[in-house]
Amino acid sequence: MDQDTNSPFLLQTFRKASFDEAGDVARLHRYVVRTCLPFLPDLHTPEEDLWYFTNRFFPEHQVWVYAEGSIKGYCGFREGWVSHLYVGPEVQGKGVGSMLLRKAMEAHSPLRLWVFQRNTPAISFYERHGFRLIETTDGAGNEEKEPDALYEWTV
């Protein structure tokens, strides 16, 4: 169960990411995917991840982070979409994901996001925050070829 997301401890470490943190976010992304989603294929090298976050993700998204010395969670969003929300396993269940998602929800409505069908903890998390399933796929349209689901939230 998430702790109180208004905790002063969390507020002190929740902030908009700077562009020069793209490498830190890329490393966290790879770590969380490898640790928490081991069923996904490893399609990109760390160097390709860095290129993507530096040249595509950061320029096209608002990116918010949670840091405890190092970045432990991040959310990247743009109008209509939450593109990424990843939280390190050591801080999952402590309200970090809720705070990051709330930032996107305060900025935009409606919001859509894709989630892998096998990622049941994430599906439960999004449903608790008011997202509703609108479509499932067999994964043919994503590079991982993993069945996914499209969720939407509106005010």
- State pLDDT tens for residues 10-50: 545 899 999 999 999 999 999 999 999 999 999 999 999 99
Our CA angle for 32, 150, 146, nearest 5°, is 55
What digits encode the pLDDT tens for the residues 64-91? Answer: 999 988 999 999 999 999 999 999 999 9
Backbone angles phi, psi at 126, to 5 degrees: -65, -40
* Nearest partner of 32 among 84, 73, 88, judged by Cα: 88
Which pair of structure tokens corresponds to residue 134?
């609108």
Domain map (residue ranges) of the chain: 8-153
Cα 59–chain centre separation: 16
Summarised one tens digit per residue, pLDDT across range 85-134 is 999 999 999 999 999 999 999 999 999 999 999 999 999 999 999 999 99
8-153: CATH superfamily: Gcn5-related N-acetyltransferase (GNAT) (3.40.630.30)
